[in-house]
Amino acid sequence: MKPAISVILLTTLIGVAQGLFLAYYSAELLSLLMILPSQELVGSSWAGITSLVLLVSGLIASFFHLGHPERAWRAATMWRTSWLSREVIALPITMGFIFIYSVLKLIGNQQIIFSLGNGNQLDLAAVVGFFAMFSVFALFICTAMIYTCLKFLQEWHSPLTVLNFVLMGCASGFVMASAIAAYFDPQIFGYVSSAAIMLSVAALASRYASLVRNKNLRSPSTLQTAIGIHHPNIRQIAQGAMGGSYNTRAFIHTYGPSVVQFVRRFFLIAGFIIPVLLLLVSGEAPVVICCLAFLIQYAGLLAERWYFFIEAKHPQNLYYQMIS
């Protein structure tokens, strides 16, 4: 299929935002549970604000994919059957929770809701963050299921698609959180950077597994099954739309095998391997190195999402494969 830049930006930006929020909020939860030392995280508000900015940026990017942006609200009306509608609903809900969480952290609101058995107290921001965490995971599922639910696109119709969206979003968010923690909260840098490394390795394993799976796929559709004629020698000599059509522009890309192969290698190296190596040697200048690791990883994730669309083979291309 032909990649849409607006959708690539939407899915990668909101993925980073969701992972960034989870990174800092998980550190806060672990502190409350006394798995990490109890501490006040200065960077929580900055992480929340950055996450919100990324979510808004992704939302703005998505409007460039719409023929009539003024009708965008209608996308939410089919929430009973459409994962896209559910994403349209989950995104502003997530933004709302993260906005409230960030404001409470920024103004230092410490209104106690209840106390835990270990003596730690749960304030209003922590409670709002708890709901935000669930909405973040719901948004991950909704976004991934838009593609996973398409049975006719075998490359996407797999649980690996959901797993990849979650792992890559969390990995990139935790890498960005490593840079924020290195500057504001060095006491949790070890936790966040270690989690970023593990998530990046897990994302690499999951994405490589999907590459292997997709390479071995065999399409159930052929020219014979498409037209209901089972003669062994059928040859298509015309495209059917000599002047081109929407189908040929939207679902057929013109990139050569060498370009596709280069992008696949690039995103595996830049999106996963290089960030892990940089995080492993980030001791001398953690802020600079973590920022560099994130920038390289995000470039790799842009390439990965481009490849994600490129590798999907729409069945209709059997009809339009011959250009006359």
| CATH code assigned at 258 | 1.20.1630.10
pLDDT higher than threshold 90 for residue 178: yes
Compute the average pLDDT of residues 74-91: 92
Domain tally, the chain: 1
Dist. CA 153–CA 76, nearest whole Å: 24
Which range marks the domain in which residue 69 is found? 5-320
Give the per-residue pLDDT at 262.
96
Q: Determine which of 58-67, 118-127, 242-251 has the lowest per-residue pLDDT on average.
A: 242-251
Dist. CA 35–CA 37, nearest whole Å: 7
| Chain centroid offset of residue 163 CA | 10
Is pTM beyond 0.85? Reply is yes
Compute the average pLDDT of residues 73-86: 90
pLDDT tier for residue 239 given thresholds of 50, 70 and 90: low
pLDDT tier for residue 61 given thresholds of 50, 70 and 90: very high
Compute the average pLDDT of residues 176-185: 95
Mean pLDDT of all residues belonging to the chain = 90
Compute the average pLDDT of residues 8-37: 94
pLDDT higher than threshold 80 for residue 219: no
Question: Which pairs with CB-CB distance under 8 Å and at least 24 residues apart come from 197-201?
Answer: 197/276, 197/279, 197/280, 199/19, 199/167, 199/170, 199/171, 199/174, 200/171, 200/175, 200/272, 200/275, 200/276, 200/279, 200/297, 201/272, 201/276
pLDDT tier for residue 321 given thresholds of 50, 70 and 90: low
Dist. CA 169–CA 140, nearest whole Å: 8
Give the per-residue pLDDT at 193.
96
pLDDT tier for residue 240 given thresholds of 50, 70 and 90: low
Higher pLDDT, 143 or 229: 143
Give the per-residue pLDDT at 242.
62
Higher pLDDT, 93 or 319: 93
Give the per-residue pLDDT at 159.
96
Give the per-residue pLDDT at 82.
94
Give the per-residue pLDDT at 324.
40
pLDDT higher than threshold 70 for residue 87: yes
Residues 6+ apart with CB under 8 A from 184: 41, 42, 43, 46
- Closest by CA to 282, choosing from 161, 166, 177, is 177
pLDDT higher than threshold 90 for residue 251: no
Other CB atoms within 10 Å distance of the CB of residue 106: 14
